[in-house]
Amino acid sequence: MHEFSCLIVEDEKLGQEILIRKLVQYFPGCKVAGIADSVKTAIDFLKVKKPDIIFMDVQIKGGTGFDVLAEFPERSFNIIFLTAYSHYAIEALNKSASYYLLKPIDDDEFCKGVGRLAEDIRKMNEYEFFSVNTDGDRRQIRHDEIMYFEASGNYTFVHLKDEKIIISKNIGSLEAVLPTQRYIRCHASYLLNLSNASQVLPSSVILKNGDMIPVSRRKKNEVDKIIATFKDQLPRE
């Protein structure tokens, strides 16, 4: 079963229903995380959540799907553009679309495009290593060794179980490529590895190694929900 989450950006009710029916029929492991019918609602959603795939109609209320993407120059989600006009295909692909589908959507093309991305997502979720350049050398670090990332200007500290290293990437660029199933940006300066959370406090999280990292007030509810989902039970104060 292909397990992934998606956002449907489509301003026609019939178009929304067609996509949902196809997903239920061909990809029952897909969770529809939300539906947006305009540029604004899509941007608002993506500022809070990170679906694996976005089904993006080109022409939507308030502008186009390209206007949505312009708000997210660094993005971790895959994009499948939907359009009734083939001349949009080149522009879609130039805007980093992962795939595009012409309306009316052909079932075989739908399964081919979505299936390809679902397989890529599955492989990414199973990928166990994080590759970094440090002191001129390429290093492979297991995800389960990483406790958290800490921002330091244009650099980032990677806090491991037994050491701390610094890499020349900012925390925003790391957030865009790290698997969202493993990590959450709990604070402007911190990326938490969910598997190493031990205890949730009102404004921080205690990790298995005893470190305590802050949780911003703005992120509190999101962090609580994600950790609760990721862990069946965590001790709480």
Structurally, at CATH architecture level, domain 139-230 sits in Beta Barrel (2.40)
Q: What does the pLDDT read at residue 160?
A: 93
Q: What does the pLDDT read at residue 230?
A: 62
**Tens-digit pLDDT string for the chain (237 aa):** 457 899 999 999 999 999 999 999 999 989 999 999 999 999 999 988 888 899 999 899 999 988 998 888 767 788 899 988 777 766 666 666 678 898 999 999 999 999 988 887 776 666 667 777 666 566 778 888 899 999 998 899 999 988 999 988 899 888 887 877 788 899 999 999 988 888 888 889 999 889 999 998 888 888 777 776 665 444 444
List the structure tokens of 206. 């205690």
- Give Cα separations from 203 to 115, 133, 151, 164 (angstroms): 40, 33, 18, 24
* Structural contact between residues 35 and 8, judged by C-beta atoms closer than 8 angstroms: yes
CATH class of 4-126: alpha beta
Q: What does the pLDDT read at residue 94?
A: 63
The pTM of the full predicted model, rounded to 2 decimals, is 0.56
Is the Cα torsion angle 17, 18, 19, 24 positive or negative in sign?
Answer: positive
Q: Where along the chain do its domains lie?
A: 4-126, 139-230
Q: What does the pLDDT read at residue 223?
A: 78
Q: What does the pLDDT read at residue 2?
A: 56
Q: What does the pLDDT read at residue 212?
A: 93
Q: What does the pLDDT read at residue 147?
A: 94
